[in-house]
Structure 1
Amino acid sequence: MIGVLLFAALIVLRGLVLARTRGSVPCRLRQGSGSWRSGVARYADGELHWIPLIGVRLRPRHAIARRGLVVSDRRPLDDDLYAIDCGPVSLAMSADALTGFLAWLESAPPSAYLDVA
């Protein structure tokens, strides 16, 4: 019983550390027509790393490269979130995080191909 509680406490602590890490923003991710999963997005070396909020590993589950990224659709969701479709995945984030994401996309080197709808 104590082991289960300790494991649960470590998972919660991991989520808090991820959410408060500098350069990280809360972000939901959906693959295809699946359900939204909560996590944290972090910008690193020309990629957006998405790490699930609940889990054991600290490594990113998805790495979305900025080079050649196509944002095909933007739409408002409930709960003051905005969804953007980026190829095989969709991301949902707050208006402030979306502004930062689009600025990150636009700040790519001139040789990168970008298409923002």
Structure 2
Amino acid sequence: MTALDVLAGVSLVAALLVVRGIALARSRGTVVCRVRTGNQGWKAGVARYAGGELHWIPFFGLRLRPRHAIARRGLTVSRRRRLGTGEGPEGYWTVECSAERGALALAMSEDALTGFLAWLESAPPSAHLDAA
């Protein structure tokens, strides 16, 4: 195997990952959203609503299945604020949430935040009965 073959293979994989990311971002019903769990940094991806869950799929990866499936039942927003300079993309808002699997933060545009909060508030009345 020559160096040219290796370079061609790496370039092909990189191109496929870029095409995958663009396809995810432009898919109908998805919004660009970043997620942070624990003390880790922000991970870029897309979120889509699927019934009573918010599915988050990372831009960089091979699988098309969601890495995080955040159930609306029991999800509570503890804080929301605009991201400061150097914290993330300009104009994004962060929403700190507590869910069944623990605390997490989502970062999204103002339009996506409005949709997220509307989705959260549109839960049936019984959805919040078991929230602590």
One fold, TM greater than 0.5?
yes
Alignment of 1:13-28 (within 5 A): 13-28=19-34
Q: Tell me which residue corresponds to 2:117.
A: 102
Could you tell me which amino acid in structure 2 is paired with residue 65 of structure 1?
Answer: A
1:55 to 53, 58, 61: 61
State the distance in 2 between where 1:80 and 1:33 align.
22
Aligned length: 114
Q: Tell me which residue corresponds to 1:44.
A: 50
State the distance in 1 between where 2:36 and 2:120 align.
20
Q: Tell me which residue corresponds to 2:76.
A: 70
State the distance in 2 between where 1:33 and 1:84 align.
15
Q: Tell me which residue corresponds to 1:83.
A: 94
State the distance in 2 between where 1:33 and 1:70 align.
19
Unaligned runs of 5+ in 1: none
State the distance in 2 between where 1:108 and 1:21 align.
24
State the distance in 2 between where 1:81 and 1:30 align.
14
Length-normalised TM-score, structure 1: 0.94
- Higher Cα Rg: structure 1 or 2? 2
> Matched residue of 1:12: which SS?
helix
Matched, 1:93 2:108: yes
Following superposition, which runs of at least 4 residues in structure 1 exceed 2 angstroms of deviation?
Answer: none
Tell me how far 1:32 sits from its aligned partner.
1.3
State the distance in 2 between where 1:89 and 1:112 align.
19
Q: Percent identity?
A: 66
